[in-house]
Structure formats: structure tokens, C-alpha cells
Structure 1
């Protein structure tokens, strides 16, 4: 079987460049007199509570769950927080009826630093052959704190 790792690489938008990485304290002090930048920083939740991330865990984005939402049926929640959750999902995948309209809700945590340009990437295969690849920009997120423990985003 062919190597499918190219399927999991997000596309690049011509002309778009992610800004220079800064620490959280640099972001909070950046252009303190700029009202629109202060609103952006407040929308990220900078300086709102104590960070909840484990300093010994190097991960920056931790996916807690994926929820499949289809009108007319109950949600299918895939809990990814436990050890071996991805392997369990590979053993027992779920099927989406062709032509069904659905949404995905992602619940995740951000640790250690501001995460810019987060994307959701979905690849659909039928009998091992890629039939579609979709991606959506989710945005930028500050590290989770005691005030904001979890982010949820619908795609």
C-alpha cells in the first residue's frame, strides 16, 4: 500500500505567514496602548487564571475528544483522553453513510504557549483510496487556565 503521510499535511496559503513566536509575557506587554490589540489579547484569554498544563508534558495541543454530529441521531463521541484511545478507534472505526451531512466538534487543550494557525484536517478513504481531503482554519488559542479549562470548536 502507498504511503499516506502526504494526506496528513496541511496545505499552505500563498502569502500567509504565521507571525514570530512570542512568550505569553511578551504578548501581554506588546503594544499595551493599542486598543484593538488589547481586545484580541482579551479574546485569547491571556492573563485569565493560572495555567493548567503539566510543565513536564511537552505537548502543545492535546485533543480530548471528537464528536460526530448528524441531524436526527444522537452524537457519536470519540474520547481521545485515555491511553490507547487512538489504537482502540483504529480497531473499531465508525461508518458515516455516504451523502450524510455532519459536523465535527473538537474538544482540546492548549499548553505552554499561544498556538497560532491551528487547522483541522480530515481525510476520507474508501477501501484505502483517498476520496476527499478537507481542512479548516480553527484559529489561535492561548494556553488553557483555571478560568478556561477546555476549548471546543465545531467544523
Structure 2
């Protein structure tokens, strides 16, 4: 049986705010490390799956591992984002209660960021797309290509082999 934590009637002080802000930063750092590490693993698995001299079993194993890693990566990516957003909203609520408005976190900061011109040339229009959504789609493409390579490996394995 889960025991509920004891609740204190005192409002959180600056030290709690600092601790939550630090945790939010950690979630944000972890959030973007996950896809970067996954890309390295995916590159290795695709080099195995697409090697012209790879055996069919090696291709199948590499594709199944790629599918697994993609699923695990997307799950961890979403969980880190969930933690980061939870803390950002808590921090914004704290700022509103303490200072009368959100200053540096949550929806207030997000609106300010989105209203700022990135001054990135042709890439400026890309800033309208949420990074989490874009990276999730990009990571999901690994699953699509893994399935394609897996099917080819089973149905027409010679298509991926080096011609003599």
C-alpha cells in the first residue's frame, strides 16, 4: 500500500524553487541527450543492416534491435519531456503566486520565445515547428526504414547483397 507523503502547510521557499529549477534543467539536458545517443546506436545498426556482405540473420537482428531502440528512445524522450514540462509549469505557478506573473518558465516563457525572431535565414520558418514533435517524427522514421529493410531481408535478401 502506497503511503502519501506528509504535506506541509508552508508555501515553498526560494530553496525549493531553486531545486525544482535545477531538476527542470536536468530533465531538459537529458531530453536532448536521448535522441543524440540513439542516433549513434541507430547509425551502427543501419551499417550492419545495410552492409553488402551481411548475413540475413544479422540484418534481421539489426532491424529488430533498431525497432526496439526506437521505441525505447521515444518512450524515454517523452518521459523526460513530461518531467521537464511538469517542473516548468510548477515554476511558472510559483512565479505567478510570488511575483504576480510568470517570468522565466512555462507558458509565459514559451510565448516570449515563440514571438522572438530566430534570425536564422531560411531556417527561421522551421522554428514554428515544435522540436519535440519534429525529433519524434525523425526518430520514428528509423522504425519505418527498419521495417522496410527487415521485409527486404526476408522477402528478397539478394537485393541488399553485393553483386558479384
Give the shorter-chain TM-score range. Answer: under 0.3
Which has more strand, going by share of residues? 1
Which has more helix, going by share of residues? 2
Q: Normalising by structure 1, what TM-score?
A: 0.20
